[in-house]
Amino acid sequence: MADVRLSICMMVMDEEKNLKRCLESLKPLLLREDVELIIVDTGSKDKAVEIAKNYATKIYFKEWNHDFSDMRNYTISLASGDWVFILDADEEIENPENVIDEIEKAEKKQAKTICLTVKNLTQEEDKKNYVINISPRIFKKNYIKYWGKVHNQPIYHEPVYYSDIAIYHYGYILLDTKLMEYKYKRTVTLLLKELEKDPTNIYYRYQLGVSYSMYGKLKEASIEFEKAYNLLRTQNSEIKKRFVVLYCLYAKTLLGLGLYDIAREIAEEGINYNSDYVDLYYIAGQSLYMIGRRKEAVEYFKKYLNFFAKNEKPQILNDPSLAFYYVNDYYIDQAISYILQYYFDTKNFGEVKNYIDLFRDNSSRLKHYVLMYLETQEYKKLKEFYVQSEQKEKIAELIEKFIVDLKLDEEERNKLYKEFATVDNLYGKYAELWINPVEAADIINYIFNYGEIKNLSAFYFKALLCHLDKKEFLLKKLKEIDILTLRVKIAEALTAKFIDFEDVISLLEVIKTEKADIDILARYTSLALLVLLNFPRQSDERLYEIFLNYTENGILLMSRLYENEEIKEKYRYFLSEEEKYFALMYLIYLSLQEKRMDKSIKYLREAITTMPKLVKHLKRFSKDILGVDV
């Protein structure tokens, strides 16, 4: 058997929800003969040990003694490898295949400690948003020892090698509230005990603030950070620089509480002690932006972005004493968005062009290019940008969205559509529709025969609603569109404001008389319900007429799909609320014909229970048709 080169040391307790994910990420390493996995269980009551047995042969048990460092040092004492890798159950190695290669590189540099990047996730399924910190985790055996009962800190030796190894940390995610509460109470209790012994300990006071912050108790966190900050103010500049992370966490917490002026002051003070601490520039920028001092904010955001201007990683990120909350693509793009918003508002389009390409997210880049060309009325350039892009439909949708948001008048829309009408594709045809309405039927046919209708962007459905004068053609096209697709796309178009409710009401007015066509009846009821449930002016008298037509059409559908006795026997078992509602309204009319008012009232009450959002119309219906209040 090969000599053990690497010992992976873990201590666990009640980690069944995390452990398998962690150990699965170790599999490529555990296939090697020169890697061992040591797991020390400190008193699990769940299935953690059972899970561990599927991966590790070296499982030990040691009762929890409320001293993190002592437990950590015990796991290290069991290691037989040349190197020791400290890993927690709520972590996952991002690139396990790199670990041995990075150890070899460290050995060539005669390093005794290897640092790696910890990506502290804020959401379980989102690995793009995280808080970064650099952590010494791999050590030469006999050159590592931990201290500190609560937040165990490694006493390690130089030289230090900064590796490309990264791990995801799931401990900040609050999904498992029971586990999070247990960890929170355990840590806070230990910290409070230590602070009873040493109330002026800045580090423990700071860590207490961190614990409150992680658990979402920002007010309590700010109080502890303020205490630590006041203690730190009495120290010399060197100690302040060593604890500069406190300025970051304190300012970040104040930002979360909406105390923008104080957050800015603390962030700027922190910059005085470490001008490379990138997070402080973001906090200062956002604080200023939130109080309306946008020009000053933009300067801070520019300084923040300068840290990422070069391709190499900023050197400050190698400092294991710091945590980085604003060093990921999301916050970089947020900073760019703040800058661009200011330059758009001040019509400084020269500066706008300088920043759009800095976006990490391509959709943000597309969005701002489209907005810039529309704001500057450079429609030819917008068309060229569109033609060269591989995301033409995405750009088309953005154009239509901004036409609404910017309230482009008819003259500007015509200029835009005239430019795009020369493009021989789907959106080109749509643009042609608005400048050449004579060819509307052919163009609409082209659009709705282009591919699967459900894949069309919602704005294309405006083409149908704006050509209601061609009734026969319109009815034919509506019948070609699946009922669910029609409702979904019209709802999407309403939400995006490509169309408004008046457009839909006009469509309903055109097709409401087609009682003999079951397909049109079904489409009328589908769209009518959309209007009845969502129309913003619920007092509008037209809604009651739509309600009556909606109900009548639904009853007609019932009568054509089912026999009378079937409806009476089966309506309770209809899965669709809408179908059950139509059945009940049908039964009301049958009961009226039978002169059974008691049954009519009974069915009406059931209808109200089935479709409570229609209660206003149903109560009026009760008065008008049944002559009673319900």
User: Which of 160-169, 305-314, 443-452, 453-462 bottoms out in mean pLDDT, i.e. has the lowest?
Assistant: 305-314
For residue 159, whether the previous peptide bond is cis, meaning omega lies within 30 degrees of 0, is yes
pLDDT at 61 over 90: yes
Which domains, from first to last, does the chain contain?
6-169 (3.90.550.10), 177-338 (1.25.40.10)
Distances from the Cα of 91 to the Cαs of 19, 75, 141, 326, 550, in angstroms?
8, 17, 22, 20, 56
Contact criterion met (CB below 8 Å) for 493 and 400: no
pLDDT at 48: 95
Across 493-511, average pLDDT? 94
pLDDT at 188 over 60: yes
Q: Residue 18: is it exposed, middle or buried by C-beta count within 10 angstroms (0-12/13-18/19+)? A: buried
pLDDT at 151 over 70: no
Q: Which residues contact 611 (CB under 8 A, 6 or more apart)?
A: 577, 578, 581, 618
pLDDT at 174: 62
Kindly indicate the confidence band of residue 2, based on its pLDDT and cuts at 50, 70 and 90: low
Taking the C-alpha atoms of residue 335 and residue 346, their distance in angstroms, rounded to an integer, is: 17
Q: What percent of the chain clears pLDDT 70, i.e. is strictly above it?
A: 99
pLDDT at 175: 63
pLDDT tens, residue by residue, 421-456 = 999 999 999 999 999 888 888 999 999 998 899 999
Q: What angle do CA 408, 412, 413 make, to 5 degrees?
A: 75
Helix runs in 136-242, H state only: 177-197, 202-214, 218-233, 237-242
pLDDT at 311 over 80: no
Question: What are φ and ψ of residue 17, in 5° steps?
Answer: -75, -20
pLDDT at 1 over 60: no
Q: Which residues contact 150 (CB under 8 A, 6 or more apart)?
A: 68, 187, 190, 191, 194, 204, 207
Across 371-391, average pLDDT? 97
Contact criterion met (CB below 8 Å) for 366 and 317: no
Query: In whole numbers, what is the pLDDT of the chain averaged over residues?
Result: 93
pLDDT at 150 over 80: no
Across 52-71, average pLDDT? 92
pLDDT at 176: 64
pLDDT at 569: 86
User: Which of 96-105, 166-175, 451-460 bottoms out in mean pLDDT, i.e. has the lowest?
Assistant: 166-175
Across 261-288, average pLDDT? 97
pLDDT at 126: 83
Taking the C-alpha atoms of residue 372 and residue 349, their distance in angstroms, rounded to an integer, is: 7
